[in-house]
Chains A and B, each alone.
Chain A
Amino acid sequence: MPHITTSALQRADGSATFTSNLYSILAGVNGPVEVQRRDELPEEAYIEVNIRPGSGVGTPRERYLESIVASVLRSVILVHLHPRMLIQVTLQVLQEPSEKLMKGKGEVAVLPSLLNAAFLALVDGGIPLETTMSAVLVAVDAAGGVVAEPSIKELLICQSVHALAYDLQGELVMDQSTGVFDMGIWEGVAEVASERCKAAVASTEDTDEMRDTDESGEPWLRTALEEKVRAANAWREQT
C-alpha cells in the first residue's frame, strides 16, 4: 500500500507526497493562475507539468514524461472551466531505486507514481476534476506471470512493464508499455490493472465478503480521499 501525505507544502495551492515501493514523489499544484501569453488557450486551461529529478537537471527524458502526464491530466481536469488560465503541476522526485533500470523500463516504471502524486495534489488544491483516477504499474515475468506493483528485483528481470491508469468509470486513461509482449499478454495485464484501480477506490465498508484484499490491493485512494474530506469537515463537527 502506498504511503500518502497531503498538504505537505505551505506555499503551493495543493500538494501531496506519494511513496510507492519504488519511488517517492512530491507533487505541488498552483492554479488556476495567470498564464503566459504564448501558452494561453482561448477555451481551456493550459496545463504545465514540470518533472524535476532528484539529482541533476531535467533532460529530454523528463520532457517526455511531462508530455505524457500533461495529456493524462488534461483528460481528468475540467479544463474548460478555466479558460486562459494556467494550472501548474510540479513533480519532484524525492527517492528512486538505486539500481538503474534499463532505458524505457525506468520511464514506464515511474509514471504511475508521478500520476498518482499529481492527482492527489490536484485534489488537495481543489482543482475541479472530471473523475477520480489511479494508475498502477504491472510487470510480466519471463514465465508470463503478471505481477502488479512489482519490486525492483522483479522489474530488473521482467519481460515487459506496463503503466496503466483507469478512471472511476473504468475507462483507460493511460497506457504506456515497454518490453516484449503480445496482445494476449497485454489483455491479461489490463485486466489485472483495472482490478487494481477499481480496488483503489472500492468502498471500505464491504471489504470482507466482497473480495480478497490481498488479490487486488487495498482501497488506498479512497482511504486517502476520505481522510482528506474528514479533515476538511472537522470544523463542522466541532461546532
Chain B
Amino acid sequence: MPREAEPSTNARAFLLQALHEGVRLDRRDFDGFRPISLTFGDEYGVADDSLGKTRVLAKISAEVVKSSEDRKFDGIFTISTELSPLASPAFEVGRQDQTEMLLSRILEKTIRRSGALDTESLCIIAGQKCFHIRADIHVLDHDGNLVDASCIALVAALLHFRRPDFEVHGEEVHVFDSREREPVRLSMQHQPFCVSFGYYESGTIMLLDSTLLEEQCREGEIVVSMNRFGEVCQIAKYGGAPVDGLSVINCTTKALEKVKMLDALVKRKLEEDEKRRDAGGLMAELSAENDR
C-alpha cells in the first residue's frame, strides 16, 4: 500500500508563506468553509455530503436485537467508520490507521456520548428487545477535514432516517413493514456538529475546513463540537505545539457561528427532501405519530 504523498518542501513553504501573508491557496477566508452540498438517497437514512472535494456518505440502518444486559432500558447505537481505498490509496483495508481512529473517536464523543440520539426511545421491551441503530460512514473522497464532513453526513442521515414502527402485546412484538405502517423518525435530543481548526504559527493563524495539503502542513488541530445553542460537547486538541487559552475561546465563538450555519443548512435540505417525497401531500395522513 503506498503511503500518502508528503507535500514537497517547496509546496509546504509556499503554503506557509501565503498563510503568513493572510492568503489561503484557494483564496478562501481563514474562517470560510468550502462549498457544501448535501443530498439524500431514495431510501431513508442515506445522506451524501461533500465539502469541496471531500465526500462522505452516511447510511443508517435499524434492526431488532436483544438488549444488552447492563443497559436494559436503552437501545443500541453504533457508529462505524471504516476508511476504504476509495478515499485514498493510503488507506489499507482491514487495518485501522490514525486518521480512522481519530475520526471514530471524535464522532463517538460528539454524537454518541453527548446523547444526541435518545437511546431510551429505542427500547422495545426492557431487557429483552430493542432497536440497534447502526450508522456506517463511508468516506468516498479524502481531501481534508473528514471530521466535519462525516459529522454533517451523520447528523443529516440520523435526522433523515425512519425506523420501522412496532406494537407490543404483552410479550409479543410486531414490527411493521414500511408498507404496513409509515416508519417513524428517531428522537434526537440535539444536533451537534464538529468544527475543526488547523493552527499554524503556534495558534496565531487558525484555519477552518482545511484541505488535505493544509492538514499536512499544520502544527496541530482543535476540534470543537457543539450544538446550535452553544453547548460544547467536546473539545479535542491534537498536535504538539501549545495553544493559549484565549485562542481556544476564540475557536468556540467562531465554531458557534459555523454550527448555526450548518444546522440551518441541514434543516433546509431536509425540508427540501421532505417536499420532494411528499408529492401528493399524503404524508400527514400516513403518519401514525402523535403530536407531543
> Which residues from chain A sit less than 8 Å from chain B, CB to CB?
9-12, 15, 26, 28, 30, 33-34, 36, 48, 50, 52, 54-57, 88, 90, 92, 94-95, 98
Question: Are the CB atoms of A90 and B141 closer together than 8 Å?
Answer: no
What is the CA–CA distance of A18 and B60 in the complex, to the nearest angstrom? 22
Say whether chain A's binding surface is mostly helix, strand, loop, or mixed.
strand
A50 cross-chain contacts in B, Cβ below 8 A = 84-85, 93
Instruction: Give me 18 A-to-B residue pairs in the complex whose CB atoms sit less than 8 angstroms apart, sorted by A's number.
Output: A9-B140, A10-B55, A11-B141, A11-B142, A15-B86, A28-B86, A33-B2, A34-B1, A36-B1, A50-B85, A55-B134, A55-B136, A90-B85, A92-B84, A92-B86, A94-B41, A95-B41, A98-B43
CB distance from B45 to the nearest CB of A (A): 9
CB distance from A50 to the nearest CB of B (A): 5
CB distance from B57 to the nearest CB of A (A): 7
Closest 10 CB pairs of A and B: A55-B61, A28-B86, A30-B89, A10-B53, A90-B86, A10-B141, A55-B136, A90-B85, A34-B2, A50-B93
Question: Are the CB atoms of B134 and A90 closer together than 8 Å?
Answer: no
Question: Are the CB atoms of A9 and B141 closer together than 8 Å?
Answer: yes
What is the CA–CA distance of A88 and B91 in the complex, to the nearest angstrom? 12
Interface positions, chain B 15-61, Cβ under 8 Å from A, are 41-43, 46, 53, 55, 57, 59-61
* CB closest residue in chain A, given B89: A30
Known: A34-B2, A52-B138, A56-B134. A98 touches B82 (CB 8 A): no
What is the CA–CA distance of A52 and B91 in the complex, to the nearest angstrom? 14
0/1 per residue, B71-92, Cβ < 8 Å to A? 0000000001010111111000
Known: A50-B93, A54-B59. A28 touches B85 (CB 8 A): yes
CB distance from B137 to the nearest CB of A (A): 11
Question: Are the CB atoms of B41 and A26 closer together than 8 Å?
Answer: no
Other A-B pairs, 14, CB within 8 Å; known A12-B85, A55-B61: A9-B86, A10-B141, A11-B89, A11-B141, A52-B82, A52-B138, A54-B61, A55-B59, A56-B136, A90-B85, A90-B86, A92-B138, A95-B41, A95-B42
* CB closest residue in chain B, given A88: B85
Question: Are the CB atoms of A12 and B86 closer together than 8 Å?
Answer: yes
